[in-house]
Amino acid sequence: MFDYLIIGSGFAGSVIAERIANKLNKKILIIEKRNHIGGNCYDFKDESGIIVHKYGPHLFHTDYKDVWDYLSNFTEWEIYHHKVLAFIDGKKVPIPFNFNTLHKIFPSELAKRLENKLLENYQYNSKVPILELKKSSDKDLKFLADYIYEKIFANYTAKQWGMKPEEIDSEVTARVPVFIGKDDRYFNDKYQGVPKYGYTKLFEKMLNNKNIKIMLNTDFREVIKVDLDSKKIYFFNQEFKGKLIFTGMIDEFFDYKFGRLPYRSLDLQFNVIEKEYFQEAAVVNYPNNYDFTRITEFKHIHLTNTEKTIILKEYPKAYNPETDIPYYPIFTKENQESYSKYKDLANNFGNVIFLGRLAEYRYYDMDDVVKKALEVFEEKVR
Ligand code: UDP
Rounded CA gap, 8 and 10, in Å? 6
Mutate to test the pocket of ligand 1, among 153, 167, 314 (most ligand atoms within 8 A of CB): 153
229-252 pLDDT, tens digit each: 999 999 999 999 999 999 999 999
53-100 pLDDT, tens digit each: 999 999 999 999 999 999 999 999 999 999 999 999 999 999 999 999
Rounded CA gap, 24 and 19, in Å? 7
4-37+207-262+330-381: CATH topology is Rossmann fold (3.40.50)
Q: What is the pLDDT of residue 182?
A: 97
Rounded CA gap, 326 and 320, in Å? 8
Rounded to the nearest whole angstrom, what is the distance from the C-alpha of residue 96 to the centroid of ligand 1?
Answer: 10
Rounded to the nearest whole angstrom, what is the distance from the C-alpha of residue 287 to the centroid of ligand 1?
Answer: 10
Rounded to the nearest whole angstrom, what is the distance from the C-alpha of residue 382 to the centroid of ligand 1?
Answer: 37
Atom 6, ligand 1: which residue's CA is nearest? Answer: 176
Rounded CA gap, 301 and 308, in Å? 15
Atom 11, ligand 1: which residue's CA is nearest? Answer: 157
Q: What is the pLDDT of residue 48?
A: 92
Mutate to test the pocket of ligand 1, among 156, 159, 267 (most ligand atoms within 8 A of CB): 156
Mutate to test the pocket of ligand 1, among 59, 128, 172, 313 (most ligand atoms within 8 A of CB): 172
Question: Which ligand 1 atom is at minimum distance from the Cα of 154?
Answer: 7
Question: Which ligand 1 atom is at minimum distance from the Cα of 176?
Answer: 14
pTM, 2 dp: 0.96
Pocket around ligand 1 at a 6 A CB cut-off: 86, 95, 152-153, 156-157, 160, 172-173, 175-176, 285, 287
Q: Which contacts (CB < 8 Å, 24+ apart) does range 154-162 have? A: 154/287, 155/287, 155/288, 156/285, 156/287, 156/288, 156/293, 159/291, 159/292, 159/293, 159/316, 160/264, 160/293, 160/316, 161/264, 161/316, 161/330, 162/264, 162/316, 162/318
Q: What is the pLDDT of residue 242?
A: 95
Rounded to the nearest whole angstrom, what is the distance from the C-alpha of residue 306 to the centroid of ligand 1?
Answer: 30
Upper half-sphere CA count for residue 343 (Cβ side, 13 Å)? 11
Atom 23, ligand 1: which residue's CA is nearest? Answer: 57
Sheet arrangement for strand 238-239: 224-227, 232-235, 238-239
Q: What is the pLDDT of residue 382?
A: 80
pLDDT less than 70: residues of the chain: none
